[in-house]
């Protein structure tokens, strides 16, 4: 048994890519995308027809406002990728709301509903969809509203315990704590003092963060799914074997499939060892707790800026096609 097969015994494996032709080889249950992954995929020759089709479809509608037309093409493109991905996975696909809406609850709700309506028009039912929303206070409140309307959400760019608690309070379907980006921050801060061996496995700061969240959720019977994301190496994945879900790049999926080293379950839903009491956060407490975590504050802001930059680049590609 290779490590990928072993991992699937304990954890739902999710492909973290927009390259749906590549993901089929790993037989994941679900798939996730984000603006950066879609931008990367749409520039591949194999996926140029998807962009051309999306542009042609919007042109046929004769939209006079170019900005609205570009926005419509991007939504159509996201949904087209999602529909193609769903042909290769039996479960769900996550599609991300425009990161520029990260601090606008009403606009995030409207965009999420719009994306779901486009999927529904293609015959894709809500149970196969997760709308990805940044884990800002406004994003979490938007997710609560979407959940109440029957639209399941995936709260992304999650770095702090405060974000995880607020998501639990909002009863969102799933959260995606970012293991690798947490690791990146602490490694950069340590500089020459970073000890890779000492900070690996269970001591990896990203692994520590996800483990704390996972155990808090299990101790308190919180149904929100925990999906570790943004991995830098297979050691981080192995250290979270047993997490509800893990979303993994094709490169790391290939490494797991190519290794027959033992891979044991390290997280278990029956583990109620968390020392964190159940919390309810109002906005002021959330903002203060999150602000006190320098890593989380830095990485959330940085992540939103990066997704906005890639969305802007995608818009420029679409505008050129228009």
Residue 102 in contact with residue 134, Cβ under 8 Å? yes
Instruction: Please report how many Cα atoms fall inside a 13 Å half-sphere around the Cα of residue 112, on the Cβ side.
Output: 34
What is the rounded distance in angstroms from the CA atom of residue 291 to the CA atom of residue 295? 9
Catalytic residue, candidates 132, 152, 218, 299: 132
Helix (H, G, I), strand (E, B) or coil at 89: coil
Residue 158 in contact with residue 181, Cβ under 8 Å? no
What is the distance between the terminal CA atoms of the chain, rounded to a whole angstrom? 50
User: How buried is residue 202: exposed, middle or buried, by Cβ count under 10 Å (0-12/13-18/19+)?
Assistant: exposed
What is the rounded distance in angstroms from the CA atom of residue 236 to the CA atom of residue 227? 13
Q: Which residues contact 299 (CB under 8 A, 6 or more apart)?
A: 157, 159, 178, 181, 182, 185
What is the rounded distance in angstroms from the CA atom of residue 155 to the CA atom of residue 88? 23
Q: Is 132 a catalytic residue?
A: yes
DSSP letter (8 states) at residue 174: E
Instruction: Please report how many Cα atoms fall inside a 13 Å half-sphere around the Cα of residue 168, on the Cβ side.
Output: 24
Active-site residues, by number, are 132
């Amino acid at each position: 048994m290779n490590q990928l097969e072993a991992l699937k015994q304990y954890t739902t494996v999710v492909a973290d890519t927009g390259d749906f032709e590549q993901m089929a080889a790993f037989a994941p249950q679900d798939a996730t995308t984000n603006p950066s992954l879609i931008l990367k995929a749409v520039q591949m020759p194999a996926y140029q027809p998807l962009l051309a089709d999306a542009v042609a479809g919007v042109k046929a509608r004769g939209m006079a406002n170019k900005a609205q037309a570009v926005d419509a093409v991007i939504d159509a493109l996201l949904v087209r990728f999602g529909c193609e991905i769903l042909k290769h996975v039996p479960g769900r696909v996550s599609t991300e709301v425009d990161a520029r809406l990260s601090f606008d609850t009403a606009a995030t709700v409207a965009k999420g509903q719009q994306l779901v309506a486009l999927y529904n028009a293609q015959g894709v039912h809500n149970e196969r969809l997760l709308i990805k929303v940044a884990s800002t206070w406004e994003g979490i409140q938007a997710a609560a509203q979407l959940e109440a309307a029957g639209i399941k959400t995936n709260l992304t760019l999650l770095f702090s315990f405060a974000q995880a608690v607020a998501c639990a309070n909002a009863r969102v379907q799933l959260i995606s704590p970012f293991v690798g980006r947490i690791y990146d921050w602490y490694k950069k801060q340590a500089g020459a003092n970073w000890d890779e061996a000492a900070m690996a496995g269970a001591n990896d700061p990203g692994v520590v963060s996800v483990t704390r969240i996972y155990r808090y959720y299990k101790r308190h019977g919180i149904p929100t799914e925990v999906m570790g994301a943004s991995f830098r190496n297979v050691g981080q994945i192995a250290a979270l074997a047993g997490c509800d879900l893990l979303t993994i790049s094709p490169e790391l999926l290939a490494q797991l499939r190519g290794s027959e080293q033992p891979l044991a379950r390290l997280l278990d839903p029956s583990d109620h060892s968390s020392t964190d009491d159940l919390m309810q956060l109002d906005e002021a407490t959330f903002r203060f707790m999150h602000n006190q975590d320098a890593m989380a504050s830095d990485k959330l802001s940085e992540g939103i800026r990066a997704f906005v930059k890639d969305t802007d680049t995608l818009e420029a590609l679409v505008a050129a096609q228009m």
